[in-house]
Amino acid sequence: MMRLLSAVFAAFVIQGQSAPPLVTVPERTDYRETSRYDDVVAFLRAVDTASPRVHLTTFGYTNEGRALPLAVVGDVADASPEAVKASGKLRVYIQGNIHGGEVEGKESAQKLLRAIAAGEHADWLESMVLLVAPIYNADGNERIALTNRQLQYGPIGGMGVRPNAQGFDLNRDHMKQESPEARSLANLLTDYDPHVAIDLHTTNGTRHAYHLTYSPPLNPNTHPGIISLLRGEGFPHVTNQVRAKRAWEYCYYANVPGPAGPDGGPRGWYTFEHTPRFNNNYIGLRNRFALLSEAYSYLTFEDRIRVTDAFLEEALGFAAANAERIADAVREADATSIVGQTQSVRSRFHKGGELRILMGAVEEHRHPLTGRPMLLRTNVVTPETMTDYSTFESAMDEVAPRAYYIPAVLVDNPQMNARLIGTLVDKLAAHGIRYSRLEADAEVDVETFAITSNTQAERPFQEHRIRTLDGSWQAATPRTLPAGTIAVPVSQPLGRIVFYLLEPRSDDGWVAWNVLDQVLGEGVTSYPILRAR
């Protein structure tokens, strides 16, 4: 990430007394081990004590009841959302460890805090406040075993697991909001309202020659101003700076599936999914800048931390230098209504031009304690020209309405109806979406969606069988909506999330995640939620 001052490894002077040196667990163990939850909390407390610019708080809990630590860094009075927003500065959220086995971001975030506590990067804090959450999937982190993430090159002392304690992949939970971790994060996004979110991962996919890959939001509905600044300037800046300073190669995240692409398509550089269940896509549909990084799994553990350090340094340097432009782009996105605009409900890979991709190679080593194979990156670099599939385009469009209406009565049984309505209201509130209830009966021109196909996936995914509806919205007709009907306006800053949650053909909304299964059974011919053009 940066040249650490030698003073960082010396004792800090705290209230006239020397404190133990701030050393991370990997540094202390010669990169044999990663930090546990208690290690991270102790480190953050020490940094909080060492620097008046670091304010330690928490932003929620895990499924097993661990408090999620958050270090608020900057010239603010305290760690509260009110104090942070009152600063008027760019707010940047940094998250590590959404997957408990991908530990490099957790370690890099701690090093970043130590460097700032030692006086480095003071210029960043002139324009930014950082919100640093090193250990998001704390429960998964604690399930350390030597056999997790097999083939990854260390740490030999083991690492955690991908899911949380419920068995959920937290990077698939942003839309359905079924974990306490996802709800805690959504609350943070609502309360602190960061302009930028950086999510730190580790990839074990294609054996390419890049030290780290990255991604902006991938959903086509993301405000174009966000994508333009990230792809046009932000990520090129990171790539060029890292190459010039360290001779490392970074690139947009993707994989080469094999001799042919998905579904027999051409060989190419294919990114991951467009759906907002993923963190970076969800952040993008909230009109915020999202940067995902993936350190290359087959580097050494030490080098994976170092390449994540460098990504953070260059990305934060760019954000600090362009704080006003980033904040302006966020304001523009929030002020832009999608009402009446064509939006995507399902997407497909966009076939781009030809790319020169650096393919690589690995060599097999043996874990010294288990004897299992581990793969280590070699310096072999083989350029290959292939088709770029690192972006998406719409495969199915819909025009965004003015509002959605959830009828006050969805099922005849009053108790069941109250529970279902309560669930829907709770899910809206979890995202921070604005809604209201009709105080009196009102006549509104509304459209109804006629269902022509209603299917469910055979195999469960994240404990759900994904549901897919097809059909069409019918011409608007006047209807008296009773008092208590829930009105959800689309013309609000979270309008893109509203649209993706409530549209019946959306591939990542309430229909897909079985939220409305109680009213979408066999024989149902219309979608229960109405909308107004």
**Residue 13 in this model has a pLDDT that exceeds 60:** no
For the full predicted model, state whether its pTM sits above 0.75. yes
**Residue 322 in this model has a pLDDT that exceeds 50:** yes
- Which helix (H) or strand (E) element contains residue 371? none
* Contact between 387 and 354 (Cβ < 8 Å): yes
Closest to 197 in 3D by CA, of 140, 253, 130, 251: 130
Cβ neighbours of residue 209 closer than 8 Å, sequence gap 6 or more: 249, 358, 359, 360, 377, 380, 381, 382
Summarize pLDDT for 161-180 with one digit per residue, the tens: 999 999 999 999 999 999 99
Distances (CA, A) of 417 to 406, 420, 424, 502: 12, 5, 11, 18
* Contact between 130 and 58 (Cβ < 8 Å): no
* Contact between 477 and 530 (Cβ < 8 Å): no
Task: State the pLDDT at residue 326.
Answer: 98
**Residue 18 in this model has a pLDDT that exceeds 80:** no
Block residue for tokens 């288990």: 370
Q: Domain residues of the chain, as ranges?
A: 6-337+356-394, 401-532
Summarize pLDDT for 216-237 with one digit per residue, the tens: 999 999 999 999 999 999 999 9
For the chain, what is the mean pLDDT?
94
User: What is the band of 7 on the pLDDT scale with cuts at 50, 70, 90?
Assistant: very low
Summarize pLDDT for 236-277 with one digit per residue, the tens: 999 999 999 999 999 999 999 877 667 677 889 999 999 999
Geometric angle at alpha carbon 334, from 495 and 425, rounded to 5°: 35
Q: What's the fold here for domain 6-337+356-394? A: Aminopeptidase (3.40.630)
**Residue 312 in this model has a pLDDT that exceeds 60:** yes
Cβ neighbours of residue 231 closer than 8 Å, sequence gap 6 or more: 216
* Contact between 479 and 444 (Cβ < 8 Å): yes
